[in-house]
Structure 1
């Protein structure tokens, strides 16, 4: 328009440059202002998701403002220079004819169309049944197969399957010439070639965003159960020093108003030389040393332990034993198929002179301490015999109320007993770490998903509004002509 009025290209380029710079700077200022207003709210939301109690005050971080201004100023300057160069790259007649130049009809390939659809189905099938196939296929190979099938299949699907589908719709004459289908189908067919890559990219990114948010929400909602599967007790530690135990008692008494004690139990076990193995493997005494130890508990001690924590009692024959482990450990073994049949798994232990082999009858989710650890039940007589050559350990198991909010109590206990000789395995620390990690993932995933959604909506509107306007004009003229014909 300006060229038709006689304005020189140099002047038009300057106008376009200044216009783009002005609009960009205005958007940058408004974005920083709106972002500053909502920064406190978003920070409070993040801290709530992470379970961190903290008072937030309104503040405008100048470093963030400066960095944002620099980055977006460079982007705005680059786009403005691109617009400046655009005026010199094309002639006036080319700009007028740009919108009238039609796109060529895309090539139809039924083989690639079927291949793309098959790759997408295959990729999502393996992703849905990942656990079932991870044993049969290498983990990295399976992950690579899913990635290539889903991403590559999506691009092939949009480039060829959509063309195949639209051509099939066009060949159906009854449907194609019914109403406005001739216009809409033709528009899609001739426009799909230029938009297939962007549509495939949007679909892939949307799938990644939805999956990441879904996984984050699932982890966040199940973090308590997952932590309980590994840390079933509020606190467990090995008793070494009576003075320190007195300090622990005093600390528990100090926090008694908020954290009532539901269990405080002393469990006696032995650390003996031994290992669990398959039925076909034979163990020699030379293979057992101080680095290959197992934990054993007497049958009478376990009976009292089970009564304290409402576990079911276990009856054993002379050559049988039971493995006591964490609930999550059993679930993982069952899920991945590592849990052997009870008659195919044994445990062998040594008193320094003789070897004793027991058949593992079953595994029960009755852990004797926090973290992954297996404890085996033996008869009282065998326990007393092994006690003569092994060191007996006493594990203190403590359960308190409101353990998910026991930051202060945990910190006080760690000042007393959290060291290499006397480590404290508590529930609160991994629980809080899980909440913080999954909360951060939810916040970042939701934020990026929202930004991505707004950006894609804007891109669709800017790209399709002129085309939609043309279609509306054609539709109106078509309706008018139809009405005139009927009259």
Structure 2
């Protein structure tokens, strides 16, 4: 058997340890290859189509490539730490340090080669489906037909073979072997009782409390100023949480005889503090990486939701608002232009126009809009909204739907407590407030009886608004009309469908890229946990084999192993979920917009994926342990 065959067989015989590293590497190659397929697609060959998408893909590919380097490097260093005994046996059999380095180099090159080839092949299999998804998500007018991506394959293959080569050289160069006795007995030497500082444990709790409290308390622009200090405080608190506070809590639980001596808890807590201490840095890194993934995707999804809520507030198909200094003749010309374009695109739409009059009523407002009931009802008829019929001594406050604006940002409460003064000296007290999108006014407005309106006197200022409501099922034509009017009328004509189309076209790129990067981070974090769990498997087998000799049953073994795996597997993920929820809460405070639904959807989806991943890992882990015992 040659030395190359020896290295190849060594990888095959340790496939349980290498599988997470191999699959994660293959996944990152596949994602990078997917971006390369987009970047070199023939639809983009002229350089004029969707340049933002191309730039975003290039940046995302660079981020994935750089992250892949550090991920593979960390994974390899972890593998080498778990193979001390193997290196010791090889040295006993006569292997030199140079040969061990060469073996590690060949193993890593072998895994890197097959991970690269496997990632490219899987990317080719799913390329058509991914192109179809991208064509719809990115709102690309060109058709992204499937093609054989020769250039993408070449770039991906060369890039990752070079990456694995550099890492293999680096790892083999820095590899150091310890004394033979340390290598042989590395997994049997006592590590000593893990110790935790009470001061540092308290500090960890205080840092997290202060960080969370600050992130939740600050609002508006203060969120931006507090962001960096909060991130630093919570990051430091997270590190101390896993290195100090978790070990301290386990020690306290072990001292509680009621808990420690209950059923199989003694087995659970016996070496849990050791494993928490040994895996502290891994848990810290997994928690931070997962938090970045949760926060990034949640922020992107929430921001898109915030921007695309406009249709719930402005339900008219088109809204025309002239500039302040526009003449009456120019306004009439603009309206004729809008009607002309609607006829060209054969859009059936009903129109209503209104002169908006603002009156001085309250010191907190320079002026407030007051509308006749008949004018309000004309606009309400377009939306099939309920009409208003106030009495002569009644005024109704109308506030905008809170689809975007929160209660703190509106003045409806001030309006309901104010009075409307008439020329005769009489004052009208508002009777009630309703929520409606018939007229979009930020602070709300009054609807009064027509007779009362005539007694208001001279308005402080006037404005003009015209709206069109088209029938359903004409979205494509409406978007085209919106584009034309946006060019011809200098943004005086607003089309909610066209605006949402442009937002989704621009923001869909960011969301699509952010989703892929977030998934890469999340999968990598799960791979770290998988490796750390299975790296200690041989030691766990020996421990449970010894305990089984004194009467440990299969059901008790399964219960202990399940609890131990769950604690180690979900500890960093739960911390990351809490971090992510606090970050998204801070984001909602910055925009004064409720992100509860979006946050729950993103965090819930990741939690569900992690649960499925845990069930799969647990099944194989328990199976491996039981096979060696019963």
TM-score band, normalised by shorter chain = 0.7 to 0.9
- Cα offset for 1:235? 0.4
CA distance in 1, matches of 2:535, 2:438: 70
CA distance in 1, matches of 2:344, 2:284: 61
Q: Which of the numbers 376, 393, 406 marks the counterpart of 1:302?
A: 376
Matches within 5 A, 1:12-51: 12-50=100-138
- Cα offset for 1:398? 1.0
CA distance in 1, matches of 2:290, 2:491: 49
Question: Which residue of structure 1 lines up, in the alignment, with residue 478 of structure 2?
Answer: 409
Q: Which has the higher strand share?
A: 1
SS in 2 for 1:99: coil
Matches within 5 A, 1:102-113: 102-113=190-201
Residue pair 1:325, 1:373 contacting (<8 A) in 2 also? yes
* Pair 1:252 & 2:342 matched: yes
Q: Which of the numbers 261, 266, 291 marks the counterpart of 2:352?
A: 266
Residue pair 1:229, 1:328 contacting (<8 A) in 2 also? no
Pair 1:324–1:50, CA change in 2 (3 A): farther
Pair 1:143–1:361, CA change in 2 (3 A): farther
- The unaligned stretches of length 5 or more in structure 2 are 1-88, 323-329, 422-426, 553-630
Question: Once the two structures are superposed, what CA deviation does each residue of 1:148-183 show, in whole Å capped at 9, x if it has no partner?
Answer: 564443333222221122212332457646776555
Structure 1 vs Structure 2 CA RMSD: 4.7
CA distance in 1, matches of 2:294, 2:134: 19
Question: Which residue of structure 1 lines up, in the alignment, with residue 415 of structure 2?
Answer: 342
- Cα offset for 1:143? 4.9
CA radius of gyration, larger in: 1
- Cα offset for 1:428? 0.6
SS in 1 for 2:91: coil
Residue pair 2:348, 2:471 contacting (<8 A) in 1 also? yes
Pair 1:422–1:196, CA change in 2 (3 A): closer
Pair 1:148–1:448, CA change in 2 (3 A): same
Matches within 5 A, 1:437-476: 439-440=508-509, 443-476=512-545
* Pair 1:396 & 2:466 matched: yes
Question: Once the two structures are superposed, what CA deviation does each residue of 1:403-454 show, in whole Å capped at 9, x if it has no partner?
Answer: 7x62333323542574456721011123224445665565445433433343
Pair 1:177–1:325, CA change in 2 (3 A): closer
Q: Which of the numbers 174, 187, 206 marks the counterpart of 2:290?
A: 206
SS in 2 for 1:164: helix
Residue pair 2:116, 2:160 contacting (<8 A) in 1 also? yes
Matches within 5 A, 1:275-354: 278=363, 297-298=371-372, 300-309=374-383, 310-313=385-388, 315=390, 326-328=400-402, 332-336=405-409, 340-342=413-415
* Pair 1:116 & 2:204 matched: yes
- The unaligned stretches of length 5 or more in structure 1 are 284-292, 349-356
CA distance in 2, matches of 1:453, 1:161: 25
Residue pair 2:113, 2:161 contacting (<8 A) in 1 also? yes
SS in 2 for 1:266: strand
Question: Which residue of structure 2 lines up, in the alignment, with residue 165 of structure 1?
Answer: 249
Residue pair 1:112, 1:156 contacting (<8 A) in 2 also? yes
Question: Which residue of structure 2 lines up, in the alignment, with residue 228 of structure 1?
Answer: 311
Residue pair 1:298, 1:383 contacting (<8 A) in 2 also? no
Pair 1:186–1:222, CA change in 2 (3 A): same
- Cα offset for 1:300? 4.5
Q: Which stretch shows the higher mean deviation, 25-34 or 363-372?
A: 363-372
Q: Which of the numbers 251, 268, 272 marks the counterpart of 1:188?
A: 272
Pair 1:311–1:417, CA change in 2 (3 A): farther
Question: Which residue of structure 1 lines up, in the alignment, with residue 611 of structure 2?
Answer: none
SS in 1 for 2:251: helix
CA distance in 1, matches of 2:412, 2:225: 24
CA distance in 1, matches of 2:97, 2:362: 84
CA distance in 2, matches of 1:361, 1:312: 16
- Cα offset for 1:476? 1.6
Pair 1:269–1:316, CA change in 2 (3 A): farther
SS in 2 for 1:3: helix
- Cα offset for 1:41? 1.9
* Pair 1:477 & 2:551 matched: no
SS in 1 for 2:279: helix
SS in 2 for 1:332: coil
CA distance in 2, matches of 1:482, 1:376: 80
Residue pair 2:279, 2:532 contacting (<8 A) in 1 also? no
Q: Which stretch shows the higher mean deviation, 195-204 or 370-379?
A: 370-379
CA distance in 2, matches of 1:397, 1:433: 21
Residue pair 1:367, 1:374 contacting (<8 A) in 2 also? no
CA distance in 2, matches of 1:104, 1:14: 34
Pair 1:471–1:139, CA change in 2 (3 A): closer
SS in 1 for 2:355: strand
What is the count of residue pairs matched by the alignment?
Answer: 452
Matches within 5 A, 1:59-74: 59-61=147-149, 64-74=152-162
Question: Once the two structures are superposed, what CA deviation does each residue of 1:110-165 show, in whole Å capped at 9, x if it has no partner?
Answer: 454355346546655776xx4xx446994446656764564443333222221122
Pair 1:158–1:409, CA change in 2 (3 A): same
Question: Once the two structures are superposed, what CA deviation does each residue of 1:50-100 show, in whole Å capped at 9, x if it has no partner?
Answer: 565763322355554455445434432232123322455545444334334
Residue pair 1:251, 1:409 contacting (<8 A) in 2 also? no
Pair 1:96–1:362, CA change in 2 (3 A): same
- Normalising by structure 2, report the TM-score: 0.58
Question: Which residue of structure 2 lines up, in the alignment, with residue 153 of structure 1?
Answer: 237
- Normalising by structure 1, report the TM-score: 0.72
- Cα offset for 1:18? 2.8
SS in 2 for 1:278: coil
CA distance in 1, matches of 2:356, 2:532: 73
- Cα offset for 1:199? 0.9
SS in 2 for 1:398: strand
Residue pair 1:322, 1:360 contacting (<8 A) in 2 also? yes
Question: Once the two structures are superposed, what CA deviation does each residue of 1:330-375 show, in whole Å capped at 9, x if it has no partner?
Answer: x625145765523666899xxxxxxxx9988877655566685866
